[in-house]
Chains A and B, each alone.
Chain A
Amino acid sequence: MLIKLVGGKVYDPANNENGVIRDIFVQDGCIVSRPHDHSRIDETYDLNGKIVMAGAIDLHTHIGGGKVNIARAMLPEDHRQDILERSNLTRSCCGRAAPSTLATGYRYTEMGYTACFEPAVLPINARQAHMEMGDTPIVDKGGYALLGNDDFFLRMMAANEDQQLINDYVAWTLHAAKCIGIKVVNPGGISAFKFNQRKLDVDEEHSYYRLTPRQILKTLTRALHDLGVPHPLHVHASNLGVPGSDDSTLITMGAAEGLPIHITHIQFHSYGTEGDYKFSSGAARIAEAINKNSNVSVDVGQIMFGQTVTASGDNMSQHRNAHHANPKKWVVMDIECDAGCGVVPFKYRDKNFVNALQWAIGLEIFLLVQDPWRIFLTTDHPNGAPFTSYPHLIKLLMDKSFRKSVLSTIHADAIKMTTLGSIEREYSLYEIAIMTRAAPAKILGLSGHGHIGVGANADIVVYHTNDDPEIMFAKPLYVFKRGELVAKDGAIVKITLGDIHIVKPEFDGAIEKRLRAYFERYHTVNLDNFKISDDELSECGNGSRMTIHPCNKRPS
């Protein structure tokens, strides 16, 4: 079937197209070049006056896995406020801050997102993550496996094992957990908390292993670099939420020693200690460091005012912050000598000084970082806000007078402590397209995604033109997934099943012998029941097709 999309205004930064009016041809799920012969066109869509981009990609969103499900179980009152009724195509489901997997898939699709990545896949919990992602309709998905707090890794490091061996373990983990990247959360800190250590600065030693987060970061960034995994080490840095975390974050950047490093939800790690409240914005310093260091990429983790829930692997920080829970309930877990988690409901209020300044800090970071290829639009769903707030966030970035008017309503002292009011920059559509499509695809190594040039997967979104970006981005006219129309006017018109994206870097299989011995002695599952085979991935993923992206192994 040949589909023609006629005369849309294309924003495709990966192919340098900035508002180019042209046709797009789709066949067998791919974008093809204009047919020269008189091929029959089966479907035509008139996109005159409409804006066309590739499907958006969310590279950091908590959509599946144990802690997300804990959040769901904890918050029936959140669900009651947001019920999705069954329709001919869609099943009944619910949830706003902690939506069900079905609601997540429907809503992301309706908003024009065609790929979402779960950033915190505990390898021991990977099956559940893949099951939940398998039950997330339409969108493509993938995950980042957590390392850096698991005892096998920390023992290797403490024993000064060869980098090569560590590389093998990292690669083995990617295979075993069927993930596309590696994330480290509070390097060494989750483990340290299990030893009753309550904080861990970047150059501070873990009380048992005597390792520092710096060492862990250096080793893991190196591993991913050597293995040729496209996505750099994805780092949830030390000292989340702590005033003075801006210093810590700058040090974290340096720990990569020039190798690629991605620092996630950096807003939460950009706080200074100045002023009457001893809480200030470190955004300028952070942005400057990002601008200067081209090996660093970040996603912001913007907060929005309102009720949400924070869910992360960082048991140390979540325990420390639990007294801020609103409503007053929370969960912290130590998990399987692997990692941990913490779930703490939270309400960000514009009249609360700290929350108001957090909001401003996130926006400062967006606006002060110059390279839209190295900064990504996230709210660390649901930690900063539910992902349904993205259109509103885009408007804040694109419309400075709107931004200033919202700024004027927040806590008065926070207004004084931010430079946001004097920042005149407005993101262009092209920059938004880079930040939400081209750049995430590039940094994840998702060949065929994030662009709509010939050869790309036909994940295409068509928007009505509207002066109000929030309205424009909230309700696309058409969403195509692999060339099939899945949403129209913000409503689902077809249910499909997205792919699961992974990498399988090369490694020396001898590492598995050591792992087997380790599992037999210390673990409570069999190594063979820890590893996920290709067939099992398909079963967990409800039949999702697996797409393997290439790694370019670097010579040692």
Chain B
Amino acid sequence: MNKLASRNNITCPFCGLVCDDLSTSLINEKLEVTANGCSLSKLAFAQLSSVNASDLRPRVSGKPVGDNELGHAIAEAAGLLRGSAQPLFSGLMTDVSGMRAITSLADRCGAILDHPNSAALTRNLSVLQNSGWITTTFSEVKNRADLIVLVGTDAVTRFPRFFERLVWNKDHLFSEELKREIVYLGDIKNTQPGVAPNGRQPLVIPCNQEKLGEIMGALRCIATGKHIEATEIAGVSIQVLEKLISKLSNARYGVIVWAVADLDFPHAELTIQSLCELVKYLNKTTRTCGLPLGGNDSDLTANQVTTWQIGFSLPVSLANGRPSYDPHHFTTTSLLAQGAVDTLLWVSSYQAQRTPPATKIPSIVLGCAGMQFENEPDVFIPVATPGLDHSGHIFRSDTVVALPLRQLRTNSLPAVAHVIGALQKLL
């Protein structure tokens, strides 16, 4: 029976910042954020705040199973996997223990593993795989950055507390007061959080997102002293770009921020690469670092576990008992569109709206209780949410930090790891 419980220092798994200073309360089985929540977390917690009894039942072919018949649903799912020549395990929105179970099952089934954010992940990974980068992490930004340039993102739309937690902090390790300048470059939604507590306005350089690559190139030319004929690029004057290079060169610890999810245009990895090459060049004389923002939908968690266990990053195929890596062909969208897979296992344990893409192939969904579908999957098993219903671990946007998730309430929802483990035993 759930009882009244207030907790502090709770970890929030609903965006890549993975803030761990939330306060929650559990009153009459209703879970709520009471302090340090943001718009995203409050909404996400609210949606999961209470679990109806009917939502706890797995469904097979749309029909709820009987009492204590989780095993029946799992057996049905096992049957689908047994009959599959090429399964796809996607979603992968779970914690480390869930991923450990999933990779093991994927190996057993020769599945292809993909996270729906893999195209975005690949934008960063392909830079790593071709030229690399210099980056930093949250605490360094908080204590050192005297210039923060946000490229193609306002950060707050996807990571609401970015400025609150990392930028406008009062305490700094190395100085009483740290003059922190903000620059936005791109098609930015919300520049308001970039206004300093003392009222200082950020420098906003608007331009088309798809032109950011060309602008990065121009910045590199300016930084290396090459003359550019044009007086403006994508509507941005050369003088403004020169000013930006001057700021970066004179900063003691400049940070250039980007969010792959916001650089969502074809071949954006080339733009990111150019940005990272600029960062490398600036480090000849000063300290500048990139800060890639990501980790939403626990995509980094999924990728970290996959990479360390298997070797390749997502998306990876384990067909025929051999891992192979093909980020171009192995995306969920592409595989489903081409009919290259015949069964879908979709795991989504944080947010009910992260439903699987429409498909006609047999599908098994391990999803949040109360998940609604346009097309009912063959097997639906409601699962526990890590950080609410059971403890676990999840990775933060800067990938270095893995935070513990705590259990806030008890119910009968099974953990993803439990369901997947049981599935594997039947195969």
Contacts and interface: CB of A to CB of B under 8 A. Distances in A.
Interface of A: 64, 66, 68-70, 72-76, 79-80, 83, 85-87, 91-95, 98-103, 122, 124-125, 127-128, 131-132, 135, 151, 155, 193-196, 208, 319, 325, 328-338, 343, 521-526, 528-529, 536, 539-540, 542
A524 B166 CA distance: 8
Contacts of A521: 171
A334 B255 CA distance: 11
B128 A73 contact: yes
Interface string B303-344: 111011111110000100111010000000000000000000
A528 B308 contact: no
A92 B103 CA distance: 10
Given A99-B311, A127-B393, A93 B323 contact: yes
Nearest to B327: A76
Contacts of B136: 333-335
B132 A337 contact: no
A335 B140 CA distance: 7
A103 B311 contact: yes
Nearest to B402: A127
Contact of B140 (A76, A331, A336, A528): A336
Given A72-B307, A332-B134, A526 B323 contact: no
A150 B323 CA distance: 38
Interface residues of B, number: 64
Given A70-B128, A73-B313, A526-B20, A337 B139 contact: yes
B124 to A, nearest CB: 9
Given A122-B400, A328-B131, A526 B143 contact: no
A127 B142 CA distance: 22
Contacts of B323: 79, 83, 92-94
Interface of B: 9, 11, 20-21, 96-97, 100, 104, 107, 125, 128-140, 142-144, 165-166, 171-174, 252-253, 283, 286-287, 289, 303-305, 307-313, 318, 321-323, 325, 391-393, 395, 398-404
Given A337-B139, A522-B139, A542-B100, A331 B134 contact: yes
B100 A135 contact: yes
B11 A522 contact: no
Interface of A, secondary structure class, is mixed
Given A72-B308, A522-B171, A91 B400 contact: no
27 contacts: A73-B303, A87-B321, A91-B107, A93-B323, A94-B312, A124-B401, A125-B400, A127-B393, A127-B404, A128-B402, A131-B308, A131-B393, A131-B402, A193-B287, A319-B134, A333-B134, A333-B135, A334-B140, A335-B140, A337-B139, A338-B139, A343-B132, A521-B171, A522-B173, A524-B139, A526-B9, A540-B96
Nearest to A329: B132
A263 to B, nearest CB: 27
A528 B142 CA distance: 20
B313 A331 contact: no
B140 A337 contact: yes
A528 B11 CA distance: 11
B311 A98 contact: yes
A329 B128 contact: yes
Contacts of A64: 308
Nearest to B253: A194
Given A135-B308, A333-B137, A196 B313 contact: no
B20 to A, nearest CB: 5
Nearest to B255: A334
Nearest to B326: A76
B128 A336 contact: no
A94 B310 contact: yes
A124 B400 contact: yes
Nearest to A126: B402
B9 A73 contact: no
A529 B403 contact: yes
A155 B133 CA distance: 29
A83 B171 contact: no
A110 B322 CA distance: 20
A336 B309 contact: no
A343 B399 CA distance: 15
Given A91-B310, A128-B402, A529-B9, 8 more contacts: A69-B308, A73-B313, A92-B322, A100-B310, A100-B311, A151-B143, A335-B400, A522-B171
Contact of B401 (A193, A330, A525): A525
A524 B138 contact: yes
Nearest to B133: A331
Interface hub of A73, A75, A122, A125 (most chain B Cβ within 10 A): A73
Contact of B107 (A86, A333, A529): A86
Contact of A529 (B143, B303, B312, B404): B404
Contacts of A68: 308
Nearest to B125: A73
A542 B392 CA distance: 12
Nearest to A133: B308
Contacts of B311: 72, 79, 93-95, 98-100, 103
A297 B131 CA distance: 37
B308 A85 contact: no
A100 B132 contact: no
